[in-house]
A and B are shown apart, each in its own frame.
Chain A
Amino acid sequence: MSGFLQAARLDVAESLRTRWFLVYALVFGGIIVVALVAGLTESRVRGFTGLGRLLIIYIQLCMAILPVFILITTVRSVAGDREAGVFEYLLSLPIGLAAWYWGKLAGRFLVVFLPVLAALLAAVAWGLVRGYEVPWAALGINIALLVSLAGCFLGIGILISSLARSADLAQGTAFLVWLVLLMFLDLILIGIMIRNQAAPELVVAISLANPLQVFRTASMALFDPQLTLLGPAAWVILDAFGRAGYVVYGLLYPLVLGGVSATVGFLVFRRGDLP
């Protein structure tokens, strides 16, 4: 346990020293500040108002920004350390490989998730001060969905990092993965596929497999029971799962995908040459 905690602590300390973390924290804090300053909570669009509207915008932006931030920063953790020669020394110390790998992952999770959570909680605190009604249930589920999304992309990121032999290759692959997932959102390529009369089973399977789409559908379903903001594939899926069922799927699937990816990454990391 000591090795795990030490590795997690080391990763947190290393991340806090880097510029990417500063940018990352500023981006998420900045989104909330800009949203508040722009008076988003005062406006009413499509029936959403107050903190609910702010939350929707924040969650949508998180879906776009959080995965790519996590991927780009996480993919350097194994491949970058290996390339820089950090492994040769640090892994000559008596620390278990499992403790090292999972400790780093846990540390990175804290570093990427805490700024997101802090920004969200700051918005809630501000909303309470202003006397807005806080959608507590939706807020709680959305935080859980964000945990799941972050876990998913951390797992994918560290898998890519374990497989790649150079940090540049890892970074390029991560960006490509993010782009493909983004393209296969309901409102982009999936929409085109539906218009071109692709097999419905294929469209539904892609929508269910894409963690970004799953997160988007689950988070939107909490606020919009009429599904006016969702795409057609999400509509069909949600109809089959039911709202609660889909939220459970939206919580579990990305976590499982991230967990499986991270585990495969660990097996690759443990099996091969370390430096």
Chain B
Amino acid sequence: MIEFEAVSKAFRRRPVLDDVSLRIADDARVALVGSNGAGKTTLIRCLLGEYVCKGKVLVDGRDPRRDRRQVLKAVGFVPQLPPPLRMSVGELVRFSAKVSDGDPDRMVAVSETLGLDYGAIRRQPFVKLSGGQKQKLLIAVALGRDCRVLVMDEPAANLDPESRAAFFDLLAARKDSTAMVISSHRLDEVAALVNRVVELDRGRVVLDDHVADAVDLSSRLDCFVALSRLEDAFAAALADWGFRNVNGGLEWRGEVPGPDRLRFLGMLSRYAGVLKAVSMDDNGRNGGRP
């Protein structure tokens, strides 16, 4: 259980969080949304005990500032911006595993599930990796531990569709045992991952709503897209989603992870003018749900 009780935080007298109160249950998956400067990152940093704030923040009844080791052992964190660490990938994994009493092999296994070739990058400085590689590694460090709370700031922003699908599978495996706080400035990025939406605006909670938990995190949708005419940009976008061309560039087939359906439809909407037909079918792989 995560509790924020009348939490306020100001920087040089400028309020960033203003009397925020929230209770997040152990099985909750919360989307923390809001525009830039709404206070999402500040709230996360208060949760991680990195900021001193007014009010009370408790994780399982413990103050993350006072009992940081016990609290942070239970919390896995994926930041929005990867830190500019000069240490090698191997060192980062070893360091993270050591301080959290974790198993580095498990972190490596998760990174490989996400499509990272750990053996090839083990000796490379973390800072030299691509954005996607950094994101995958940080996710692997967080998910390769026994944590009961996952705090993720735009976690899938830099992932390719295949890795996103693997990431959703990993989240699905933990969804009943792990509370998740997923921050994003766009709801469509995270909507399908969560069962509750909290929106912040200028440091205040302006929306706190439970949403239908209808999407299976590990589901896949068979998709077919037909175009009325050839469009290079659209073709490139579909290829990025892993779709294959089946009719000279006018018809495409591929698979979309269930939680990504809204994001996929968002992409399609940008090319509505050239869309001739679209179908999405879960083929009964969604636990019988539509």
Instruction: Kindly state whether residue B73 has any CB partner on chain A within 8 Å.
Output: yes
Q: Kindly supply a per-residue 1/0 record for chain B positions 57-95, scoring 1 wherever the CB is within 8 Å of any chain A CB and 0 otherwise.
A: 000000000001111110101010111111100010001
Instruction: Kindly state whether residue A10 has any CB partner on chain B within 8 Å.
Output: yes
| Given A92-B77, A272-B52, A273-B51, A17:B99 Cβ within 8 A | no
Residues on A with C-beta less than 8 A from B125 are 17
Contacting pair B77 A6 (CB below 8 A): no
| Given A93-B100, A94-B72, A96-B68, A274:B83 Cβ within 8 A | no
Contacting pair A92 B50 (CB below 8 A): yes
Contacting pair B87 A13 (CB below 8 A): yes
- Majority secondary structure, A binding face: helix
Instruction: Kindly state whether residue B96 has any CB partner on chain A within 8 Å.
Output: yes
Q: B90-112: which have CB < 8 Å to A? A: 91, 95-96, 98-100
Nearest CB on B from A84, distance (A):
5
Instruction: Kindly state whether residue A143 has any CB partner on chain B within 8 Å.
Output: no
Nearest CB on A from B211, distance (A):
27
Residues on A with C-beta less than 8 A from B51 are 273-275
| Given A14-B87, A273-B50, A96:B69 Cβ within 8 A | yes
Residues on B with C-beta less than 8 A from A93 are 72, 95-96, 99-100
Nearest CB on B from A108, distance (A):
15
Residues on A with C-beta less than 8 A from B73 are 94
Residues on B with C-beta less than 8 A from A88 are 45, 50, 79, 83
Residues on B with C-beta less than 8 A from A274 are 50-51
| Given A13-B91, A88-B50, A94:B99 Cβ within 8 A | yes
Q: Kindly supply a per-residue 1/0 record for chain A positions 87-121, scoring 1 wherever the CB is within 8 Å of any chain B CB and 0 otherwise.
A: 11111111111000000000000000000000000
Nearest CB on B from A270, distance (A):
9
- Majority secondary structure, B binding face: mixed
Instruction: Kindly state whether residue A271 has any CB partner on chain B within 8 Å.
Output: yes
Nearest CB on A from B275, distance (A):
41
Residues on B with C-beta less than 8 A from A18 are 86
Residues on A with C-beta less than 8 A from B79 are 85, 88-89, 92
Residues on B with C-beta less than 8 A from A96 are 68-69
Q: A12-47: which have CB < 8 Å to B? A: 13-14, 17-18
Contacting pair A17 B98 (CB below 8 A): no
Contacting pair A10 B95 (CB below 8 A): yes
Instruction: Kindly state whether residue B43 has any CB partner on chain A within 8 Å.
Output: no
Instruction: Kindly state whether residue B114 has any CB partner on chain A within 8 Å.
Output: no
Residues on A with C-beta less than 8 A from B91 are 10, 13
| Given A87-B50, A92-B50, A3:B99 Cβ within 8 A | yes
Nearest CB on B from A22, distance (A):
14
Nearest CB in chain B to that of A5: its residue: B98
Residues on B with C-beta less than 8 A from A3 are 69, 99
Q: How far is the CA of A188 from the CA of B56 in the complex (A)?
A: 55
Chain B interface size range: 20 to 34
| Given A85-B81, A271-B52, A92:B87 Cβ within 8 A | no
Contacting pair B138 A89 (CB below 8 A): yes
Nearest CB on B from A146, distance (A):
28
Q: How far is the CA of A95 from the CA of B50 in the complex (A)?
A: 12
Specify which of A86, A89, A271, A274 lies most central, judged by the most chain B CB atoms within 10 Å of its CB: A89
Q: How far is the CA of A275 from the CA of B77 in the complex (A)?
A: 14
Q: How far is the CA of A30 from the CA of B98 in the complex (A)?
A: 38
Contacting pair A94 B68 (CB below 8 A): yes
| Given A6-B98, A88-B83, A94:B69 Cβ within 8 A | yes
Name the contact of A14 in the complex, choosing from B50, B82, B86 (C-beta under 8 A).
B86
Nearest CB in chain B to that of A91: its residue: B50
Contacting pair B69 A95 (CB below 8 A): yes
Residues on B with C-beta less than 8 A from A91 are 48, 50
Residues on B with C-beta less than 8 A from A85 are 79, 81, 83-84
Residues on A with C-beta less than 8 A from B87 are 10, 13-14
Q: How far is the CA of A218 from the CA of B84 in the complex (A)?
A: 43
Residues on A with C-beta less than 8 A from B82 are 89
Contacting pair A84 B68 (CB below 8 A): no
Q: B132-189: which have CB < 8 Å to A? A: 138, 151
Instruction: Kindly state whether residue A197 has any CB partner on chain B within 8 Å.
Output: no
Q: How far is the CA of A95 from the CA of B48 in the complex (A)?
A: 12
Contacting pair A6 B45 (CB below 8 A): no
Instruction: Kindly state whether residue A2 has any CB partner on chain B within 8 Å.
Output: yes
- B residues sitting closer than 8 Å to A (CB atoms) are 45, 48, 50-52, 68-73, 75, 77, 79, 81-87, 91, 95-96, 98-100, 125, 138, 151
- A residues sitting closer than 8 Å to B (CB atoms) are 2-3, 6, 10, 13-14, 17-18, 84-97, 271-275
Other contacts beyond A2-B98, A94-B99: 11, CB < 8 A: A2-B99, A3-B69, A13-B91, A14-B87, A88-B45, A89-B79, A93-B100, A94-B73, A95-B72, A273-B52, A275-B51
Q: 27 A-B Cβ contacts within 8 A?
A: A2-B98, A2-B99, A3-B69, A6-B98, A6-B99, A14-B87, A17-B86, A84-B83, A85-B84, A88-B45, A88-B79, A88-B83, A90-B85, A91-B48, A91-B50, A92-B72, A92-B77, A93-B72, A94-B68, A95-B69, A95-B72, A96-B69, A97-B68, A273-B45, A273-B52, A274-B51, A275-B45
